[in-house]
Amino acid sequence: MDMDESPEIEPGASAYYAAMAIEHTVRAIRKARGKKNPEDCVVRSREWAAVEEDFLNDLALALKSRPDEDVS
């Protein structure tokens, strides 16, 4: 595999389900906090770009945190 290629996670693999669980959790937490998710905006609008960036930051934070840490 080239360094430029990302490994794909196949549906059905445990890593796939873990990734989906983290994504859905971040979306639910954002909604509970009154924040928009990218699908709440017009695609490719300025608002969408800002929300997408904020969503990705929250996702990165969720990936870096440990379950016993408060991420608020």
Structure-block tokens of residue 28: 């639910």
Tens-digit pLDDT string for the chain (72 aa): 455 666 788 888 898 999 999 999 999 999 999 999 999 999 999 999 999 999 999 999 999 987 665 655
Write down the pTM of the prediction. Answer: 0.76
Q: Is 24 among the domain residues?
A: yes
The position carrying tokens 């929250």 is 58
Q: Is 51 among the domain residues?
A: yes
Q: Is 71 among the domain residues?
A: no
Structure-block tokens of residue 40: 């709440």
Number of domains composing the chain: 1
Looking at residue 11, what is its pLDDT? 84
The parent domain of residue 39 ranges over 14-64
Distance CA 36, CA 45 (A): 14
Looking at residue 3, what is its pLDDT? 53
Q: How many helices (H) and strands (E) does the chain have?
A: 2, 0
What is the C-alpha R_g of the chain? 14
Q: Is 4 among the domain residues?
A: no
Structure-block tokens of residue 4: 């430029």
